[in-house]
């Protein structure tokens, strides 16, 4: 697909009645938001990501996807940060149900990287394939069309090659793009991954890729896999963390952690939620809302009588051991996709790769029987 045809692809998706959302430039970062034309895409933007560091510059390039990944994931569009689930109005001696299901938009998630595709697959496993299906999530997922893009330049905090969730898209998309930009030749390889994707291809002007195109794409994929900013040894993580619940490193990281919840808010796989009930001042109306929660908040582990995890040590340990250990026991996969956002956006510069390697490097194998933090 020639570069000029990219805008046509967006138009086709909109004519199909879809709201296109993808990477945009907003608040000095690459965020996820509505896209109406190709001009909304962060063309020529390059990001620098390191622990507690995010910088965005424009280098004048014509590359559309020259950045490593958006600061935010697509999760809020399929698992909203806050949604009303019940509403009642007092009438006489009883109540009237006033809650109505909001219409679900037909979304086209545009420019989804491999790590975020893997994150969506993890959320599907948890919210769709278990004994309790999240119906709101199911309706949103069923309405989604996904245009993925293969990553050409991982960021400084990326380690998706270690978790085997990237940098190349291998599943979970309707269409996948590979941007080819070299020596004045600016094209996209485009591949369908579903019948819906094939239908969209019929509306585009396409040509057969050359051998040079295919070879360039292959070398670009290999370069991306070899250019990770981080590398994590994921072998035996469940056993390692289970055997080191009393490791001294938990005290060390707790002394640096602010419990700000940034890591869980930017994580594309965290799914914890809580329930809030609100009542009007006159007592005539009541609503129930579901909103994101974090295991770093004190109330997250509250049961009758108080919180279970009071200390920063207990809360950070809960997050890390669940994400990289017990998550696999529960769902058969890691809870991390190696996107590195938690490292980039941690104001204390805490690096999960470094924390795990510190425990592995001084494996104390001290289990706990009971620890309330």
Reply yes or no on whether the pLDDT at 305 is more than 90. Answer: no
Distant-in-sequence, close-in-space partners of 145: CB < 8 Å, separation ≥ 6: 13, 16, 18, 106, 107, 108, 109, 174, 196, 197, 200
Residues 199 and 344 in one domain: no
User: Quick one: pLDDT band at residue 372, thresholds 50, 70, 90?
Assistant: very low
Task: Give the per-residue pLDDT at 60.
Answer: 84
User: Quick one: pLDDT band at residue 363, thresholds 50, 70, 90?
Assistant: low
The average pLDDT across 230-247 equals: 95
Residues 97 and 191 in one domain: yes
Residues 45 and 105 in one domain: yes
User: Quick one: pLDDT band at residue 15, thresholds 50, 70, 90?
Assistant: very high
| Residue 339 covered by a domain | yes
Domain boundary among 160, 191, 225: 225
Higher pLDDT, 26 or 101: 26
User: Quick one: pLDDT band at residue 118, thresholds 50, 70, 90?
Assistant: very high
Helix pair 352-361, 312-321: axis angle to 10 deg: 90
Reply yes or no on whether the pLDDT at 369 is more than 70. Answer: no
Residues 49 and 156 in one domain: yes
The average pLDDT across 166-175 equals: 97
| Residue 367 covered by a domain | no
User: Quick one: pLDDT band at residue 312, thresholds 50, 70, 90?
Assistant: very high
Residues 276 and 191 in one domain: no
The average pLDDT across 322-327 equals: 96
Mean of per-residue pLDDT scores for the chain: 94
The structure tokens listed for 32 are 């996820």
Residues 122 and 144 in one domain: yes
Higher pLDDT, 305 or 110: 110
| Residue 371 covered by a domain | no
| Residue 28 covered by a domain | yes
Residues 271 and 327 in one domain: yes
Residues 214 and 246 in one domain: no
Rounded CA-CA distance 149/137 in Å is 23
Residues 180 and 316 in one domain: no
Residues 33 and 55 in one domain: yes
| Residue 87 covered by a domain | no
Residues 256 and 294 in one domain: yes
Domain boundary among 225, 260, 285: 225
DSSP 212-233: HHHHHHHHHHHHHHT--S----
| Residue 113 covered by a domain | yes
How many domains would you assign to the chain? Answer: 2
| Residue 230 covered by a domain | no
Residues 18 and 102 in one domain: yes
Residues spanned by the domain of 350: 237-361
Domain boundary among 199, 225, 251: 225
Rounded CA-CA distance 29/17 in Å is 28
| Residue 85 covered by a domain | no
């Amino acid at each position: 697909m020639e570069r000029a045809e990219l805008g046509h692809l967006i138009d086709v998706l909109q004519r199909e009645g879809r709201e296109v959302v993808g990477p945009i430039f907003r608040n000095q970062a690459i965020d996820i938001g509505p896209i109406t034309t190709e001009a909304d895409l962060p063309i020529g933007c390059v990001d620098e990501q390191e622990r507690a560091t995010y910088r965005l510059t424009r280098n004048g390039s014509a590359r559309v996807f020259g950045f490593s990944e958006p600061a935010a994931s697509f999760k809020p569009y399929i698992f909203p940060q806050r949604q009303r689930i019940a509403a009642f109005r007092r009438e006489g001696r009883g109540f009237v149900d006033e809650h109505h299901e909001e219409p679900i938009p037909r979304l086209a998630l545009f420019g989804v990287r491999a790590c975020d595709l893997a994150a969506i697959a993890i959320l599907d496993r948890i919210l769709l394939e278990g004994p309790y299906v999240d119906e709101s999530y199911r309706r949103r997922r069923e309405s989604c069309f996904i245009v993925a893009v293969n990553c050409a330049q991982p960021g400084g905090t990326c380690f998706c090659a270690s978790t085997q969730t990237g940098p190349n898209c291998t599943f979970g998309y309707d269409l996948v793009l590979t941007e080819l930009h070299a020596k004045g030749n600016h094209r996209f390889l485009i591949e369908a991954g579903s019948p819906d994707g094939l239908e969209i291809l019929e509306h585009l002007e396409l040509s057969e890729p050359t051998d040079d195109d295919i070879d360039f794409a292959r070398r670009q994929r290999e370069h991306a896999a070899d250019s990770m900013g981080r590398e994590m040894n994921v072998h035996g993580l469940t056993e390692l963390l289970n055997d080191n619940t009393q490791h001294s490193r938990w005290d060390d990281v707790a002394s640096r952690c602010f419990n700000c919840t940034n890591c869980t808010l930017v994580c594309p796989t965290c799914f914890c939620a809580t329930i809030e009930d609100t009542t009007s001042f006159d007592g005539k109306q009541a609503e129930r809302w579901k909103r994101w929660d974090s295991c770093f908040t004190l109330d997250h582990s509250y049961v009758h009588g108080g919180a279970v995890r009071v200390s920063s040590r207990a809360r950070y340990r809960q997050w890390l051991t669940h994400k990289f250990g017990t998550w696999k026991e529960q769902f058969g996969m890691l809870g991390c996709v190696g996107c590195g956002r938690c490292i980039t956006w941690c104001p204390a510069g805490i690096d999960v790769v470094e924390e795990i390697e510190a425990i592995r490097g001084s494996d104390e194998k001290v289990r706990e029987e009971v620890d309330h933090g």
